[in-house]
Amino acid sequence: MASILETAASVGVFNTLLAAVDAAGLREALEGPGPFTVFAPVDDAFAALPPGTVQTPPPQLARILTYHVLSGAYSREQLVAEDSWSSLEGAPIPIRCKDPFEVKNATVVTADVVCDNGVVHVIDRVILPG
Amino acid sequence: MSATVASERIKAPLIPPSTHRYADVIHRLEAGGSMLPDTPENLKQIIGIYKAYAVPMDFYWRDLLYIAERVFLNPLPAFKYFISQEYLDRPNSYAGDQSQLRIWRGGEKAHPELLEFMERGETGRMPKLLHHLWHDRVNMEFAEACMQAMLWHQGMGGRFNDYLESDAYKANADRAIKAYFKGNPLMLGLYALFPDMFLEQVRQLSYTANLGLFWEVMAPVFFEMSDIYDEGGFKGVPDAMDFIVNGIFAVAGRPIYHHLYIGDECYEIIPKSEGFTWLYEAALPYVEAVFYRTAPFRGTKSYNAQAGQVPADQADFHYGILYADVFPVGSAGIPPTLLMQDMVHFLPPYLKEIYREHKRGEEDELVQLGITFQRSMYNVTSAVIQALRCALLYPLDDTNPEHLMANRRFFEAQMDRFLRPEARLPDIQSQNYR
């Protein structure tokens, strides 16, 4: 089985996310044993953001990215059992809807992609703390 | 007939109308508008006052950073408003050709109108000290009052305030305090006796840096808006609001930090690497503390806290510009008056003309411009509300009724804050409120 980042790279729709992970210096952490749950926005989600939103210095960018990560591997079934989860960034991620599966203001387009060091849920919007 | 019905069905809104008291305003927000009605005069008023606000703001941000980074814990800071040439010339990170993200096309140094005012004031050319003592100068007291509102209310989102209580911050502040008072046994002795008092002063200076970095962005935003308007660029109030929304996103990730300079040496009290951002740690707390909350101003009205005239909960404070009775200006040197007095020096001619034509003309110019400022800040608040909706909720043209209802609940919750009688939202709906 591949790691979270290897899986994301193989699909080809997470180019912006992977570039941002590198820019923020998070590659090493995400290649660690984890396990993590990653809500991975597709390239179109980043393109829909107003200009400049993620063109920030690494520590600030890392905050946006770590808001998409939970400590521990959780499936869709486990996630929808709670109203809210605490992100690695520190701010809570609300589970807004179980069916369709909506995380904050993003919809999960593909859930439960199991990897070596965690689980990936593909989302259609970049989620922001607040 | 059936074609008409079909087209009506297509046009029919996906959710029922709001029944909120401010339903009209909510429907306007849902259509991408502002809390301020879209009229040519409103556009003219808000752009004119943005320009008049940006000039003193160009001094505020420079001097706030000068105080936070250089004056620091000077026990007798009598000259803290005598900004150094270095900070007057300090290139704005968002103006001029040198900036990585250029918001204003003008120069990066202090605005020419500001320099001219600092030279001449209202009275005429005289030494800086006399201008200061005669109070013929930019009212930095207003900027410090805003900073103190942020310090006092605290805990308004973001992680800035939590960090100020952390061991890492205390260690950084301790290092800075000891370096600043190196060779000064009296102050070091006082620090040893009253460490928390010094620490609290440093926290205040961290908020000073925070506000300086916040306004460093807003000044070029307002200057650019004025230039665009002068070129005929904005078609209406929503255009002006959208410009601010885009600005918010473009600079949202700007690092918020506090550095102290002793000579050439830099002490990082809040390092950039903490990841604090302009949006979460500066802009949102600023709007909450200054536009909504602040505190009752002494000198204009007596409040009896025991009779419940001042809320028990700080979150219910409502003394900001969105609630202000602008009439009692000029009576006690209260912070809003100081700002009005600063802005009156830099009004564009078209705004002066509006004031001359209404009410008591130049006699009550400060009141009229205060109400213009209130209108303009309702527009800035609208931009913040739309930016939050954009970041945390759904597009206005989303086709999912559930999502549109989530947007509706958000807008209604925001409007609930203006249900209290002091709110000026109903007033600004009419052009006759002057």
Interface of B with A in 220-249 (CB under 8 A): 245-246, 249
How far, in Å, CA of B178 to CA of B188, rounded? Answer: 7
Residue B262: enclosing H or E segment and its boundaries? Answer: strand B258-262
Residues of B with CB below 8 A from A56's CB?
252-254, 277
Query: How far apart, in whole angstroms, are the C-alpha atoms of residue B70 and residue B262?
Result: 7
- Token pair 């255009």 is found at B239
* pLDDT value, residue B329: 57
Give a yes or no: residue A41 inside a domain.
yes
Unique residue bearing structure tokens 């808000």? B46
Q: How far apart are CA B71 and CA B69, in angstroms?
A: 6
Whether residue A56 and residue B252 make contact (CB cut-off 8 A), yes or no, is: yes
Q: Indicate yes or no: CB of A50 within 8 angstroms of CB of B406.
A: no
State the smallest CA–CA distance between residue A69 and chain B in angstroms.
17
The reply to whether residue B251 touches residue A52, judged by beta carbons under 8 angstroms, is yes
| Residue B17, phi-psi category: left (phi > 0), alpha (psi -120 to 50), beta (remainder) | beta
Give me the residues paired with residue B265 across strands.
B262
Q: Output the domain CATH number for residue A81.
A: 2.30.180.10
In the chain, the amino acid numbered B142 is F
What's the total number of domains in chain A?
1
Residues A105 and B393: beta-carbon distance below 8 Å: yes
Q: Which residues of chain B have pLDDT under 50?
A: 1-10
Instruction: Assess if residue A58 is contained within a domain.
Output: yes
CB B411 within 8 A of CB B30: yes
Tell me phi and psi for residue B270, to 5 degrees: -125, 105
Show the beta-strand stretches assigned E in B21-116: none
Q: Is B423 on the interface with A (CB under 8 A)?
A: no
Cβ atoms of B412 and B383 closer than 8 Å = no
Is B101 in contact with A51 (Cβ distance < 8 A)? no
User: What is the DSSP annotation of B132-198?
Assistant: HHTT-S--HHHHHHHHHHHHHH--SSSSHHHHHTSHHHHHHHHHHHHHHTTT-HHHHHHHHH-HHHH
Contact of A49 with chain B, judged by CB distance below 8 Å, is answered with yes
Asked if residue A91 lies in contact with residue A129, where contact means CB atoms within 8 angstroms, the answer is: yes
Establish if A76 belongs to a structural domain.
yes
Q: Quote the distance between the C-alpha of residue B13 and its chain's center.
A: 36
CA distance B388 to chain A (A): 8
Nearest CB among B245, B273, B402 relative to A59 is that of B273
> Closest to A56 (Cβ–Cβ): which among B253, B273, B394?
B253
Please, what is the average pLDDT of chain B?
Answer: 92
> Token pair for residue A31?
């290649």
* Whether A59 contacts chain B with CB within 8 A: yes
The Cα–Cα gap between B280 and B252 comes to 8
Closest alpha carbon within chain B to A90: B159
pLDDT tens series, chain A, 130 aa: 799 999 999 999 999 999 999 999 999 999 999 899 999 999 999 999 888 888 889 999 999 999 999 999 999 999 999 999 999 999 999 999 889 999 999 999 999 999 999 999 999 999 999 8
Nearest CA-CA distance, residue A64 and chain B, Å = 9
With a CB cutoff of 8 Å and minimum separation 6, the contacts of B333 are: B141, B299
Q: Are A55 and B253 a contacting pair at CB < 8 A?
A: yes
DSSP letter for B364, please. Answer: G
Contact B214, B286 (CB under 8 A): yes
Is A81 within the bounds of a domain? yes
* Interface touch A64/B253, C-beta < 8 Å: yes
Whether A116 is covered by a domain: the verdict is yes
* A44 burial type by CB count under 10 A (0-12 exposed, 13-18 middle, 19+ buried): exposed
B157 in contact with chain A, both atoms CB, cutoff 8 A: yes
Contact B250 A129 (CB under 8 A): no
Domain residue limits at A42? 4-123
Chain A residues with CB-CB distance to B255 below 8 A? 57, 59-60
Which among B210, B257, B208, B214 has a CA at the least distance from the CA of A59?
B257
Instruction: For residue B275, give the nearest of A54, A63, A128 by CB distance.
Output: A63
Contacts of B42 (CB under 8 A, 6+ apart): B36, B237, B375, B431
How far is the C-alpha of B60 from the C-alpha of B217, rounded, in Å?
Answer: 12
Do residue B272 and residue A129 have CB atoms under 8 angstroms apart? no
State the pLDDT at residue B359. Answer: 84
Contacts of B392 (CB under 8 A, 6+ apart): A104, A105, A128, A130, B410
Please, what is the Cα angle at B320 between B418 and B305, to 5 degrees? 90
ipTM of the shown complex: 0.94
Size of interface A-B (CB pairs under 8 A): 61
CA–CA separation, B283 and A126 (whole Å): 21
| Phi, psi of B142, rounded to the nearest 5 degrees | -65, -45
How much is the pLDDT for B4?
Answer: 41
Quick one: CA dihedral B141, B138, B208, B313, positive or negative? positive
Burial tier of B84 (Cβ tally within 10 Å: 0-12, 13-18, 19+):
middle
**Domain contains A130:** no
Distance CA A83, CA B45 (A): 45
Cβ atoms of B374 and B324 closer than 8 Å: yes
Which residues of chain A have a CB within 8 Å of the CB of B101? 52
What's the rounded Cα separation, in Å, for the pair B139 and B122?
Answer: 13
Q: How far is CA A119 from CA A2, A96, A129, B299, B358, in A?
A: 11, 19, 21, 61, 65
B250 and A54 within 8 Å at the Cβ level: the answer is: no
Contacts of A57 in chain B (CB under 8 A): 253, 255, 272
Predicted pLDDT at B308: 85
* Side chain identity at residue B166, one-letter code: S
